[in-house]
Structure 1
Amino acid sequence: MRRRYNPYSLPPWLRKSRGVLGQFIIPFCIFQGVRTLLFPTAFDVLFLIALILIAFAFKLDLI
């Protein structure tokens, strides 16, 4: 059976780093989106997709 995710069971340094990453993920997505529009490469597109997936995971409290 799958264990439930409890963010309070994490060490304090990891909880703090999750909070910091949660604050900066949207500006990183916007910056990467503008960069992808100006200089599109395969890596930029894949990196933008990965950032968007991480942002959705933070929004839905999956991470």
Structure 2
Amino acid sequence: MRKKFNIHSLQPWLKQIKLVGIQVILPLTIFQGIRTLFFPTTFDVLLLGILIFLACAFHLDWI
């Protein structure tokens, strides 16, 4: 059987990476949203979608 994933069993450096990611993702998403408003390219729209998904995932504790 597969062992259930537990956030508390992560190594300390992985926890640190997650905490840094949580702090960095929101400003990057806001910056990318503003950039997409002024220079909308396909890459910018896709990147904004990925960043919004990651921000929601961190906020809802999916990751």
TM-score (norm 2): 0.91
What residue number does 2:59 align with? 59
Secondary structure at the aligned position of 1:40 is classed as coil
Letter in 1 for 2:33: G
Q: Distance in 2 between matches of 1:41 and 1:28?
A: 17
RMSD: 1.3
CA distance in 2 between partners of 1:53 and 1:2 (Å): 27
Identity %: 56
| Long gaps (5+) in structure 1 | none
Structure-2 separation of matches of 1:58 and 1:49: 14
TM-score, reference length from structure 1? 0.91
Runs of 4+, deviation exceeding 2 Å: 1-5
**How do 1:22-37 residues align onto structure 2 when only pairs under 5 Å count?**
22-37=22-37
1:43-58 residue pairs with structure 2 within 5 A?
43-58=43-58
Aligned residues: 63
